[in-house]
Amino acid sequence: MPDKHAKHKSKYTADRGIPGAFEGETVTRRRFMTGTAHTAGAIAAASFALPALGFAIGPIFKQPPHYWEDIGSTADFTDNNYVPVAITLTRGIGEAGKSTAYVRQKNPTIDTDPYDQNTPYIAISTRCAHLGCPVRWVDAAEHFICPCHGGVYDLLGRRVGGPPVRPLDRFPTRVRNGRVELYTGRFSVNSQLRRFSPRDPGEALDGIGQYLYPSRPSARKL
């Protein structure tokens, strides 16, 4: 049986020798104040962490759908020059969702890359791989030129001058009933024209660059 004369523990932290105790403080009060401080710290940390987490993973759950878009008849394109076509990357937002692609028929004499044998038409994005400015095809020079910072790309969209870090992005294409269709989900390529999931401007894909700049969901939107 328990000793009736056993001394009960004091409710005061000073009597128990708890570090940081002060006169009149009880154990219950100490626990309450500690829990309050921890809760306030957790709320403060969450106020910084949750918005950042939402910004990072939000695009995963909200991405515009990609689709095949009719861009013209097979007779509209040749294998020796590009034709600009207007495309809609994001529906329902007006002009902001539109862009331009340069399209030509695939030419076996120059389109010899082993990574893309099933694309009947070459569709080049006008988004510069430096900072995203719109490039234009200069027929006389047979180059894509970026007016912002002097980026220059050859006939295949490979960077040949200026600050861009990789070739121009591309779009998949197919032919259905004599009509050329472009898939609005772009893809990126490295200097050997090997396909990669889409990257943002300024992100290299050669060597270690393909590991330093993994694809992000937000990059797929544009």
User: Coil, strand, or helix at residue 69?
Assistant: strand
Which region among 38-42, 120-124, 145-149 has the lowest average model confidence (pLDDT)?
38-42
Best CA proximity match to 154, nearest among 130, 138, 134, 131: 138
Best CA proximity match to 209, nearest among 179, 185, 180, 189: 189
The pLDDT, as a whole number, for residue 77 is 94
Question: Terminus-to-terminus CA distance in the chain, angstroms?
Answer: 78
Q: Are 126 and 100 in contact (CB under 8 A)?
A: yes
141: which 2 tokens? 């020079």
- Has this prediction a pTM greater than 0.85? no
Query: Is beta strand 152-153 parallel, antiparallel or unpaired with respect to 98-105?
Result: unpaired
Summarize pLDDT for 32-48 with one digit per residue, the tens: 667 688 888 888 887 87
Summarize pLDDT for 9-35 with one digit per residue, the tens: 776 666 666 666 666 667 566 566 676
